[in-house]
Protein backbone atom coordinates (compact mmCIF):
# COMPACT_ATOMS: atom_id res chain seq x y z
CA UNK A 1 0.00 0.00 0.00
CA UNK A 2 1.16 3.53 -0.74
CA UNK A 3 0.03 6.64 1.12
CA UNK A 4 0.31 10.28 0.07
CA UNK A 5 -1.26 13.65 0.77
CA UNK A 6 -2.46 15.82 -2.11
CA UNK A 7 -2.20 19.58 -1.53
CA UNK A 8 -3.73 22.41 -3.53
CA UNK A 9 -4.25 26.14 -3.18
CA UNK A 10 -7.97 26.02 -4.02
CA UNK A 11 -10.92 23.66 -3.74
CA UNK A 12 -11.23 23.37 -7.52
CA UNK A 13 -7.53 22.55 -7.90
CA UNK A 14 -7.79 19.86 -5.20
CA UNK A 15 -10.85 18.32 -6.87
CA UNK A 16 -8.96 18.16 -10.18
CA UNK A 17 -5.90 16.52 -8.59
CA UNK A 18 -7.94 14.03 -6.57
CA UNK A 19 -10.06 13.05 -9.59
CA UNK A 20 -6.88 12.42 -11.61
CA UNK A 21 -5.55 10.15 -8.87
CA UNK A 22 -8.90 8.34 -8.52
CA UNK A 23 -8.70 7.55 -12.24
CA UNK A 24 -5.25 6.02 -11.59
CA UNK A 25 -6.59 3.67 -8.91
CA UNK A 26 -5.96 5.75 -5.77
CA UNK A 27 -8.64 6.03 -3.07
CA UNK A 28 -9.40 8.85 -0.65
CA UNK A 29 -8.67 8.27 3.01
CA UNK A 30 -10.61 10.50 5.38
CA UNK A 31 -11.91 13.97 4.66
CA UNK A 32 -10.49 17.17 3.25
CA UNK A 33 -8.49 19.39 5.58
CA UNK A 34 -7.96 23.12 5.14
CA UNK A 35 -4.80 24.41 6.79
CA UNK A 36 -4.46 27.83 8.39
CA UNK A 37 -2.66 29.11 5.30
CA UNK A 38 -5.73 28.25 3.18
CA UNK A 39 -4.33 25.17 1.42
CA UNK A 40 -6.56 22.14 0.90
CA UNK A 41 -5.28 18.63 1.75
CA UNK A 42 -6.59 15.14 1.00
CA UNK A 43 -4.99 11.87 2.11
CA UNK A 44 -4.87 9.21 -0.61
CA UNK A 45 -4.01 5.49 -0.58
CA UNK A 46 -3.14 3.03 -3.33
CA UNK A 47 -3.49 -0.66 -2.60
CA UNK A 48 -0.95 -3.12 -3.96
CA UNK A 49 -3.01 -5.67 -5.92
CA UNK A 50 -0.13 -8.13 -5.96
CA UNK A 51 -0.16 -8.45 -2.18
CA UNK A 52 -3.96 -8.82 -2.01
CA UNK A 53 -3.97 -6.34 0.87
CA UNK A 54 -7.71 -5.76 0.75
CA UNK A 55 -8.51 -9.45 1.06
CA UNK A 56 -6.13 -10.02 3.96
CA UNK A 57 -6.79 -6.78 5.83
CA UNK A 58 -3.05 -6.11 6.06
CA UNK A 59 -3.48 -2.51 4.93
CA UNK A 60 -4.89 -1.69 8.36
Q: Are 47 and 3 in contact, with CB atoms under 8 Å apart?
A: no
What's the confidence (pLDDT) of residue 29? 97
Q: What is the pLDDT of residue 54?
A: 59
59 belongs to a structural domain: no
pLDDT at position 27 is 97
Within a domain: 57? no
**Is the C-alpha dihedral spanning 8, 10, 11, 13 positive or negative?**
negative
Query: CA dist 11 to 40, 41, 46, Å?
Result: 7, 9, 22
Domain assignment present for 39: yes
Q: Is residue 60 part of a domain?
A: no
Q: Which pLDDT value is given to residue 52?
A: 58
Give strand pairing partners of 5. Answer: 43
Residue 25 lies in a domain: yes
14 found inside a domain: yes
Instruction: Quote the pTM value.
Output: 0.80
Domain that holds residue 14: 2-52
How many domains are contained in the chain? 1
Q: What is the pLDDT of residue 38?
A: 97
Per-residue pLDDT tens over the stretch 9-59? 999 999 999 999 999 999 999 999 999 999 999 999 999 875 555 566 555
Amino acid sequence: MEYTIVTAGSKDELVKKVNEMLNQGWETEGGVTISQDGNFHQAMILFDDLANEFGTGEEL
